[in-house]
Amino acid sequence: MVEERMGDCWSHTKDQFDNLEKHTQWGIEFVEKYTKFVKERSEIEINYAKQIRNLSKKYQPKKNSREEEESKYTFCRAFVTTLNELNDYAGQHEVIAENLTSQIITELMRYLQELKSERKSHFHDGRKAQQHIESSWKQLESSKRKFERDCKEADRAQQYFEKMDADINVTKADVEKARQQAQVRHQMASDSKGDYSSYLQKFNQEQNEHYYTIIPNIFQKLQDMEERRIERIGVCMKTFADVDRQVLPIVGKCLDGMTKGAESIDPKTDSQQVVESYKSGFEPPGDVEFEDYGQAMKRTASETSLSNTREAKEKPTGKSKGKLWPFIKNKNKGSGPEDFSHLPPEQRRKKLQGKIDEINKDIQKEMDQRDALTKMKDVYIKNPQMGDPASVDPRLTEIGQNIEKLQFEVQKFEGWLAEVEERMPSKSDTHRRSGIYETQNSTTVSNNCAQDRESPDGSYTEEQNSETQVKANTTPNPNPNPTPAPPTSTTPEFDDEFDDEETLPTIGTCKALYPFEGHNEGTIALAEGELLYVIEEDKGDGWTRVRRNEDEEGYVPTSYVEVFLETNAKDS
């Protein structure tokens, strides 16, 4: 019964250790799983931050003139603010990933090693204690069996002695021998009894210590280990949330920055920027004069008749128009004339002012260099050992020449600027209306406009006659070039038209109001008062195609001539 009871206890203890081993192993695996979870979250944060940074970088304005031009609008600046704040926002997600790694992943990796080592030590102590008590029990059982054998042997020796002592046929010597043997056996049994008693006392003490001290201590250590593991997991889970919470104030500031940028958008300011950018500075055209068709008289090239005739002739002359417009557009896309005469007055004024400011900056740079070199030369004069004063002179001379050139450039652009500002509608509107429109013949509208231009030398004119206005309203092109751009020798459009097309019929005549030199390829020279044949009317680009004789034809500025269309051309 005792052996069965002891076996049950040991079996129960062993089962407890097996269960605890499984549970603590599962606890370690849970920590490993949680560590893997945090790693994957950290990787997500890093990849997310990278994608957000790339998105911000992708939409950042490029370093080109168009993007710089757009930066003056409040909504464009607000978008740039959003992109910059988004970049900082991505940085906070990188901080999350870094803190998850340093505060959780690294700590748990180190703790896992400690946990595995501690668990191994506790279960090693448990198995050792179990083996020790089992060994002690085996010693007790062995001494017990020896005591039992010795007692049986002593009983048999005593019975044999008694039998020999009662037998009269046995010699005294044999009886004495049997008696001595019985005493030896009794002594052995007595010794075995003492050993058994000693082992029993020792086992009971060790068993008591095993079940009441050693095993409970090991279980307690395992319990403490488990509680620390669970507590550590709890701390990590809290840190997992805190890491995110720590960046919320900065993330909030990023979002506040985006909101502030959005609130800074001012539609009126942006629309005013558009007005300033594209304001032409043209004076509105005068009233269209009544044309009396009931009287047989020369008809002037009025705006209405030109536009109506143009509408009637658009289809048959579409080829010529198609060739001329790309020429004009290409011309304007280039750098244009140095005095920006290809631009409307207001835009020209801005360009000229910007050019003057730019040259003044260059002059200031050159003057700063001159001052620095002058000081250096003074130092060399006072201290010849430091350098030759004459070595600075060539550079000073060069800088002086540069300053003279730049100052000449400034004067040139300031002259052009003064011309533009004198003719701006805002400054001379009253004078222009009283001094021009009242003194001109009411039947020559184009002549009125011609008086209001800068000069008949091919530079930009301020007039925007009614013909151009009507054309703008009746053609698909919403913004035709209001003024003829002088033809250049580098563009082949005029040559193509003369070479490829058949001889065009005459549709009217025209009278030159001003002389025109016609140096550019594709144009024809005019003498004031000269009469020429019109073979193609103005298509809205400011040029009229004329012919002097069978072999000489070309384009002239529409504002330089007075057009008289033939009746059949008007009625067609």
For residues 218-246, average pLDDT? 94
User: Is residue 222 within 8 Å of residue 24, measured between CB atoms?
Assistant: yes
Query: Rounded to the nearest 5°, which phi and psi values hold at 423?
Result: -100, 5
Inter-residue long-range contacts of 163-168, CB under 8 Å, 24+ positions, other chains counted: none
Question: Average pLDDT, stretch 304-326?
Answer: 41
From the list 102, 107, 99, the residue with the least C-alpha distance to 49 is 99
* Over residues 72-100, mean pLDDT: 93
446: tokens are 């184009």
What share of residues in the chain are helix, strand, coil (percent, to 5)?
Answer: 70, 5, 25
Angle at alpha carbon of residue 504, lines to 501 and 510, rounded to 5°: 135
User: Is pLDDT larger for residue 465 or for residue 394?
Assistant: 394
* Whole-number Å distance between alpha carbons of 527 and 511: 10
- Averaged pLDDT, 237-266: 94
Least confident of 4-18, 85-99, 116-130, 212-226: 4-18
Residue 276 banded pLDDT, cuts 50, 70, 90 = confident
Residues contacting residue 548 through CB under 8 Å, at least 6 positions apart? 524, 532, 533
Percent of the chain with pLDDT over 90: 32
Q: Are strands 508-512 and 553-557 parallel, antiparallel or unpaired?
A: unpaired
Q: Mind listing the pLDDT tens digit for each residue in 137-179?
A: 998 999 999 989 999 999 999 888 888 888 878 788 888 888 8
Q: How many angstroms separate the Cα of 408 from the Cα of each of 174, 348, 356, 459?
A: 158, 20, 11, 21
pTM: 0.50
Q: Across the strands, what pairs with 106?
A: none
Distance of alpha carbon 505 from alpha carbon 568, whole angstroms? 12
Strand partners, 532: 510
Distance of CA 390 to the CA centre of its chain: 54
361 vs 476, residue with greater confidence? 361
**What's the pLDDT at 458?**
41
**If pLDDT is split at 50, 70 and 90, which confidence band does 39 have?**
very high
Asked whether residue 438 carries a pLDDT value surpassing 50, the answer given is no
Query: Cα–Cα distance between 137 and 144 in angstroms, integer?
Result: 10
The Cα–Cα gap between 52 and 75 comes to 21
Report how far residue 432's alpha carbon sits from residue 329's, in angstroms, rounded to the nearest whole number.
31
pLDDT score, position 123: 92
3-class SS letters over 477-517: CCCCCCCCCCCCCCCCHHHHHHHHCCCCCCCEEEEECCCEC
DSSP lists the bridge partners of residue 526 as 516
Confidence (pLDDT) at 245: 94
pLDDT at 315 over 90: no
| DSSP H/E element including 71 | none
CA dist., res. 380 & res. 390, Å (int):
9
- Whether the predicted pLDDT of 196 surpasses 80: yes
Query: Pairing mode, if any, of strands 543-547 and 553-557?
Result: antiparallel
Residue 401 has pLDDT above 50, yes or no: yes
**Residue 301: burial class (beta carbons within 10 Å; 0-12, 13-18, 19+):** buried
CA distance 443 to 92: 75
pLDDT the model gives residue 280: 63
pLDDT band at 389 (very low <50, low <70, confident <90, very high): confident
What is the band of 304 on the pLDDT scale with cuts at 50, 70, 90?
A: very low
> DSSP secondary structure string, 318-375?
HHHHHHHHHHHHHHHHS---TT-TTS-HHHHHHHHHHHHHHHHHHHHHHHHHHHHHHH
pLDDT value for 32: 96
Three-state secondary structure call for residue 236: helix
pLDDT attached to residue 376: 82
DSSP annotation of 295: S
- Provide, rounded to the nearest whole percent, the portion of the chain with pLDDT above 70: 74
Which DSSP symbol is given to 565? E
Band of residue 340 on the pLDDT scale cut at 50, 70, 90: confident
- Quick one: average pLDDT of 212-231? 93
**Residues found in the chain:** 572
Name, of 168-172, 214-218, 440-444, the range with top average pLDDT.
Answer: 214-218
For 334: left if phi > 0, alpha if psi spans -120 to 50, otherwise beta; the answer is: beta
485: number of CA atoms within 13 Å, CB side?
23
What mean pLDDT, rounded, does the chain reach? Answer: 77
The rounded Cα 553 to chain-centroid distance in angstroms is: 57
Split at pLDDT 50, 70, 90, the class of 302 is very low
pLDDT of 434 strictly over 70: no
Q: pLDDT (tens digit, 9 = 90+) per residue, 117-138? A: 999 999 999 989 989 989 999 9
User: How far from chain centre, in Å, is Cα 310?
Assistant: 51
pLDDT band at residue 311 using 50, 70 and 90 as cut-offs = very low
Token pair of 50, please? 């990278």
Q: Give the lowest-confidence range in 20-24, 159-163, 348-352, 510-514.
A: 348-352
Q: Helix 425-432 vs helix 393-422: angle between axes, to the nearest 10 degrees? A: 40
In terms of C-beta density within 10 A (0-12 exposed, 13-18 middle, 19 or more buried), how is residue 551 classed? Answer: exposed
Is the pLDDT confidence value at 491 over 50?
Answer: no
Q: Which residues pair with 553 in a beta bridge?
A: 547
Confidence of residue 242 (pLDDT cuts 50, 70, 90): very high
User: Which whole number is the average pLDDT over 95-108?
Assistant: 96
pLDDT tier for residue 493 given thresholds of 50, 70 and 90 = very low
